Amino acid sequence: MVTRFSDSFHTSVAKAHAVNEPQRLWWKQAAADWALFEHLRGPARWRHQCHPLQALQMSSEKIAKASFRVGTSRPNKFSHLGLTKMLRRLSSVRAPDQQELAEVFSVSCFQHLERLLKSVRGIAKEIERLPPAIAGPDQINTEYPWPDSNPVNAPADWEYDVWQRLATAKGREFLRFLARAIERYPQYAHVFR
């Protein structure tokens, strides 16, 4: 099923705390990348795992960058890391924000949210390591054939372990978390101040 962020995008804005323009733009791009991921793994039944995984990685990277786009601070556009940092930050929010944050992520209390954040951290790390800039020129990645000096593998031919993990209970939990993180971003963006 494809998540339609065009409707939820405007609904979430109505329920939002203040989100600055750079945050809104990073969030909007994260939602577009997420929609592409959902389309490729769903209705399109895309046969190459590398393309939906790349869209998934980009959506997670951009929602993390939106989260850290507070005030005049700028995320490093050249870094693909950020999702695990965002998870750590969400698990250490101020006490007044904890219950609200739990509700945003559809759990009954903050302790359950902390468990959820720990549970999805492993897959988040795997997703972060997919770009060649992080994986390294001679490692499995979603963009370029490897090893770099004498390629023998192409991303389009590769079956990724993380793709299989996304089909497990923990993987589905990660995908639900990320969908909520993107869809409901304005409802919790204030916790990063």
Convert the pLDDT of each residue in 16-73 to its tens digit: 567 889 999 999 999 999 999 999 998 888 899 999 999 999 999 999 999 988 766 6
pLDDT of 120 reads 97
pLDDT of residue 28: 97
The alpha carbon of 38 is separated from its chain's Cα centroid by a whole number of angstroms, namely 12
Residue % of the chain over a pLDDT of 90: 74
pTM of the model: 0.88
Alpha helices, DSSP H only, in the chain?
Answer: 5-14, 21-41, 50-67, 83-90, 95-104, 110-128, 132-135, 161-165, 169-183, 185-188
* Averaged pLDDT score across all residues of the chain: 88
In DSSP terms, which residues pair with 153 in a beta bridge?
146
By CB atoms closer than 10 A (0-12, 13-18, 19+), residue 67 is buried
Q: What is the pLDDT of residue 71?
A: 64
136: left (phi over 0), alpha (psi -120 to 50) or beta: left
